[in-house]
Structure 1
Amino acid sequence: MLEEKNDNLSPIENETDGNQENVLNNEIKETAETVSEEVETAPLTSVEEEVVVEISPEELADDSPMTESEHQKALNAIDDSNAEESEDETLKDRHNIPLLDYHAMSMETLVDELEKLSTVEKVMSIKEHVEEIKKEFLSKYNHFIDEKRDEFLAENPDSTEDFEYHLPLKPKFDSLYKLIKGKQNAHFKSLQNNLQANLNRRLAIVEEIKNLINPQENIKDTLKHFNELRDEWRNIGPIPRDKYNHVWNNYHFHVENFYDYLHLDREARDLDFKHNLEQKQKIIARVEELVNEEDITKAFRELQDLHRIWKEEIGPVDREHREEIWNQFSALTKQMHDKRESLFANQREKEVANLERKKAIIAEIEELAKVEVTAHSQWQGYIEKVEKLRNDFFSAGKVPSEVNEDTWAEFKTAVRNFNSHKNAFYKDIKKEQSDNLNKKLALVEKAKAMSTSEDFAATTPLMKQIQEEWKQIGHVPRKYSDKIWKEFKEACNHYFDRMKATRNEANSEEIEAFDKKKAYLDSMKDFELVGDHKTDLEAIKAHIEQWKSFGKVPFSRRHIEGKFNKILDALFEKLSLSKKEGDMMRFSNKLEQLAGSDDSRKLEGEKIFIIRKIDEIQSEIFQLENNIQFFTNAKKDNPLVKEVLKNIEKHKDELETWKDKLKQLRNLSQE
């Protein structure tokens, strides 16, 4: 490049011959006069105009003639990107940070991604990422808050309270976003302080290069000054992006103008032109390779860098090759741009397919919002379906940017309509749930009142009854459900725990009673009647009283009572008691056992059984007496008549026995 060949630009520096110097001075003078004359007399061309006025980027692009219109779009895309990155070099790193599908992420994942980005030092390189995350997070957050508001209004239709909902994730997001924006603002402020100063200095250098065409100055000093200006140009920092192309184009124009019109040191200039041509040919060769690169995005980023090198680091070439080589470069750029546009077109097709999928999801949700549902279980199924559709919507991928907001709005509307339909159903059953709540609260109070009862025989069936009632009562408002269930459960558990503890104490006594009765049974094996009716009867009664004094036995071992009753039956049979006397004595013993069981239901059951038996016997007697009427002409000694009369007497005796039992049972109840 030119700055690498300063020694060749001024070969006359080593000459000491005065005549040679005069020849050179004359050449400079003649050349300058020729240039001056041409400028004054010749019609102004676009290049000659630039000696006097600056040109715009539209009038001249890089070191080429006017670019063809079909290539301009590709060139502008690269120039715009390079202009942006030249203003702030940290933007170049944005290509190394992938732009993820933030739309498919949950709010929690979005905050995690924002937290990762907050640690990146070059904060301007993540500007697009941060704004995408912000857009998606706020969309999902606002949708979430809308749903919570709808739920609140559905559950509290008459409430005068303002709706408030605090999502812990929101303050964390706000804090991270504020942190990143603070870093970006500080960076931008620092950058802005330097951009304008750098721009002013670059414009001043352009003016100085314009003024180098002065035949009155020594060529040695002119070239030295020119190289100093070029070195300074390279070391000046970034300038505003909107000035980038214009300033660079003017700078290149005046550098070329310096070469083309001074005609100084043609050999050094030609060598520099040749070197620059070789460098640009190498770039073209590399671009030809990039055209076949599979990773189009990566290849296009490298093409941007090659454009920057072409424009900012490599000097001009001779006019003979200038247009040709530029056309080659711009044509290859157009090919790369077309491939990139094709890639974008494919992405566009995917986005359109994603849009169709999302519209289908929205349509499904809209249909679900119209279904008439009459049961809570059905609603649970539809709620699960909508939740799945929501997840499918978020994972369906990006849609075309121009319809993204509309699609999101349609989705939110569909979900809101479904929720409104659902909330209307639950609003209708809210009164029922309120009634259920009152019923369950009443059962809670009953359970608490009975939880301290000592009458376990009477209270236990009532406790079991209210537990069954609790099961039959429907749902209550969710915010009360856990609380009242806990209270009810604690009251029931308190009662049954006390009952169990009491029974455990009683069980030890019952086991002791069983052991005593078992030993007593063994002792009765040796008992013999003495033959005196009265004495034997008193002895049997004494055994019964002794047996009763031992108390109750465990329920699982009550078979021992049957063994004792069998012994009594054998003794009564030996004693030759009347059937009624024996029956009544056994019944009396049975009543004593029932009374000692503390189970009123057993006594009541025995009472019902006796009454039923009395009714049955009375019916039998009535039937027999009715049958005897058919034997009006039969004699009393008729065998058939005698049998019927005998049965009537037998049933009457049995009836008296059962009536005596009922009387004895009633007397026991009164006691």
Structure 2
Amino acid sequence: MEETNVTNQVEDKETIVKITPEQATVPVANTELENYIKLDTEELIDTVKSLVDTAPIQSIKAQIDEAKKIFYDRSNTTYKDALEKFKATQVEVEGEEPENFEFIYPNTDAFKAVMDTYKKRRNAFYSEQEKEMSKNLKIKLDLIEELKGLVNAEEKIKVTFEHFKDIQIRWKAVGQVPKSDLNNLWQTYHHHVEKFFDFLRINNDLRDIEFKRNLELKNALCDKADIVAQEDNLDAAFTVLQELHDAWKEIGPVGRNDRETVWERFQAATKIVHKKRNDFYEKRKESFQDNFNAKILICDQIKAIDYAELTHHNKWQKQSEIINNLREDWKKIGPISREQNEESWSLFIDLTKDFNSKKNDFYRALKSGQKENLAIKLALVEKAEALADSNDWAETANALKKLQSDWKKSGMAPKKEADALWIRLRTACNSFFENLKKQNEEKDKEFKGNLELKQSFLKEVESFKNSGDTIADVQTIKGFINSWKEMGRVPGKNVKAIEGTFRTLIDGYFDQLDMDKAEKRDIQFKTRIEAIVAEGEGNKLKDELFKMQQTSKKCKEELTLLENNISFFKNAKDDNPLLKEVRKNIERQKEKFEEIKSRMTYLKSL
């Protein structure tokens, strides 16, 4: 009877169940978060400050995160708008570095002060909580030692059981302990609880009542775990599941026959939640990798900059714009892991710092050399002004074109002085080329009669028919060429058309003749060159001579190679086919070389 009375004193309130079914399935609505976006910036700061000052610091993380998101979204938007307005007002000045843009969003200091207060109070809270958990761990370890002592207690079972109940009550009243000690602590406690029940050897009815009550409580937790396993909000589900596990650890043992079954049911629901959560994080890890690769690709683009190519102000400005676009692309890339962020962001910052450093070095060097460049530009202008009234038309035209080219290569100079010099250079060049234009117009009037003669002569040339007598036909065609030259130049605008027509006719007639190929090529070459001379294209003649010089060099190299190759046939007979072929090639190459030399001599004589 004494043991039965002890059993009746085990009350339901001994088992603390922290989670209700409603808490396990329904997310808590937070209207405050929804209203934050409606507040202006000052109201938002005041609201968050009040929250930090009055609310439990561990319960307001969601509100703080939402406030930070709203504040910095507004700050970034305002910054971009201000930057666009700033760019629109800037006037690019050659040789001067762009003015730095500075902007501070209003109330930034006030908002940061509130955030600093929040961090200090949050850190103080968790620091105090750590101390409290260490203190709680010591209390529970002492209770386990007290529980172990019950085994050797020399007192009535009822008194010992009351002592046991008191230990249970005090155990449950103690707060949280460090997570690292939680499992070991719980296993040790329940090990000694079971040893206590075995030691008491109380009647089966008392033990069965205790086991039955514990089984009911654990089945209730299993029901809640099954509901949590269906929850789509993984963070909420995991949080509730942790609380269910904490509640499970507070419930005593069940009968041996039920232990495995009820635990397996609870574990099945737990595994579902853990699998969903692990799958989610694995999938997110894949997106992290894609985002990380995208950020590294941006860094690679900055690494690939060829600084040797950035030799001009405009090129640096264009590259700076590319860097700014890459920075905007960086911001649009999704989240990555903390480790990946540290690696990629550190690389990005180092690369952009290196770019800015090289850019600053360029402009410092540019500024230091501007005086020298200005002196070069002044010398070019003075030369151009000295040539402005020259009557040596062809030579002066080429000289002025070269001066303009040298101007482009002379580098940057102070804008105001450089612009004034450019006006002088342009005026000098325009003056000369206007005179040249008038001179050409006067000449064209003189050449108009020649044009009429050549147009009439073309009809005679067009009427030529091959007589079959090659020697006579060659003389006739040569006569056409000599007569054409004697008629003189035609107006510049007509040169290309009429000379092209004549050359096409002459080339066609030579193609019809059965004559020495070398002689034919020589006549056709000279006819083409004379057409170029008629057009007044001095640069084209220089190009022809350069091509001939390159061809001559290549021909000589091939001839040397062939003459070296023939040494391999020193023991071969004269009728050896390969030897004959090499000798033929050598002769052909020599003839070609002599032909090229003759053409080069002709070109130099013009």
Q: TM-score, normalised by structure 2?
A: 0.44
Larger Rg: 1
Structure with more contact order per residue of length (Cα contacts < 8 Å, sep ≥ 6): 1
Q: TM-score, normalised by structure 1?
A: 0.40
